[in-house]
Structure 1
Amino acid sequence: MAVPRRIPVRFEDVFPAGAFVLGVEPANDYEKVKANAPDPQERDPNTGERIWAVRVLDPDPAARQAELKVKVPGEVQPVLPEVMPGTPFRPVLFDGLTITPWVDTNGKYPKQGYAMRALRLRQVGAVRRTGAAA
Structure 2
Amino acid sequence: MAIAAGHRFPINFDELFPQGFFVLKVERAQEFSEGKSPRPAVDKLSGTPFRPAVFVGLKVSPYVRDGWVNHTIWAEEMLSPQDVAKVRRGGGKVDGSAGAPSAAA
Q: TM tier, shorter chain?
A: 0.5 to 0.7
Shift in alpha-carbon separation, 1:2–1:94, aligned structure 2, 3 A: farther
Instruction: Indicate the RMSD between aligned Cα atoms, in angstroms.
Output: 2.8
Question: Does the residue aligned with 2:46 lie in a helix, a strand or coil?
Answer: coil
Query: TM-score of the superposition, structure 1-length normalised?
Result: 0.45
Q: Which has the larger radius of gyration?
A: 2
Query: TM-score of the superposition, structure 2-length normalised?
Result: 0.57
**Size of the alignment, in residue pairs?**
72
Task: Identify the residue that residue 87 of structure 2 maps to in structure 1.
Answer: 128
Answer 1 or 2: which has greater strand percent. Answer: 1
In structure 2, runs of 5+ residues without a counterpart are 27-41, 93-102
Moved over 2 A (4+): 1-4, 82-85
Task: Identify the residue that residue 76 of structure 2 maps to in structure 1.
Answer: 119
* Aligned mates of 1:98, 1:124 — CA distance in 2: 19
In structure 1, runs of 5+ residues without a counterpart are 25-81
- Aligned residue identity for 1:111: W
Deviation, structure 1 residue 12: 0.3
Answer 1 or 2: which has greater helix percent. Answer: 2
Task: Identify the residue that residue 56 of structure 1 maps to in structure 2.
Answer: none
> Identity of counterpart residues, as a percentage?
38
Higher RCO structure, 1 or 2 (CA under 8 Å, sep 6+): 2
